């Protein structure tokens, strides 16, 4: 079993920056891709960004392109999401996930095997 714990979510003013972290533990028994998703109040979960096992391939939703950067440190089993120029519409619970079925990045939530509990990001205007 794999456990994922997100951290770093907080209240921030529009235009500010925030870095989220996702720490993995347990039986990460083979290489895996990772991704970030978010869910705003009254909306469905949406893809934010994903990264391959090697870290060389990344994929971003249009909403975060140019503002968000996904990265990972496999030695620490930790993934990061750097968010700059935050907007009120970025307000959501952010979830990290791992995909043992593929080494590559994917935006498909159904492909992911394990999910964290989420961390709240609130951007005030």
Q: How far is CA 53 from CA 20, 38, 39, 48, 103, in A?
A: 19, 21, 24, 17, 5
Please write the tens of the pLDDT for every residue from 9-38. Answer: 999 999 999 999 999 999 887 889 999 999
Q: How confident is the model at residue 101 (pLDDT cuts 50, 70, 90)?
A: confident
**E strand residue ranges, the chain:** 2-7, 11-13, 18-26, 33-39, 46-51, 58-60, 68-73, 78-83, 92-99, 114-115, 119-124
Instruction: Report residue 80 CA to chain centroid gap.
Output: 7
């Amino acid at each position: 079993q794999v456990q994922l714990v997100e951290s770093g979510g907080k209240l921030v003013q529009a235009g500010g920056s925030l870095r989220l972290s996702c720490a993995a533990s347990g039986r990460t028994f083979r290489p895996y891709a990772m991704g970030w998703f978010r869910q705003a109040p009254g909306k469905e979960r949406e893809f934010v960004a994903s990264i391959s096992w090697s870290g060389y391939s990344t994929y971003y939703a249009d909403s975060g392109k140019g503002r968000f950067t996904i990265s990972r440190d496999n030695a620490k089993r930790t993934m990061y999401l750097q968010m700059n120029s935050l907007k009120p519409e970025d307000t959501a619970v952010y979830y990290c996930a791992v995909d043992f079925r593929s080494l590559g990045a994917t935006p498909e939530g159904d492909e992911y095997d394990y999910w964290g509990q989420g961390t709240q990001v609130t951007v005030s205007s």
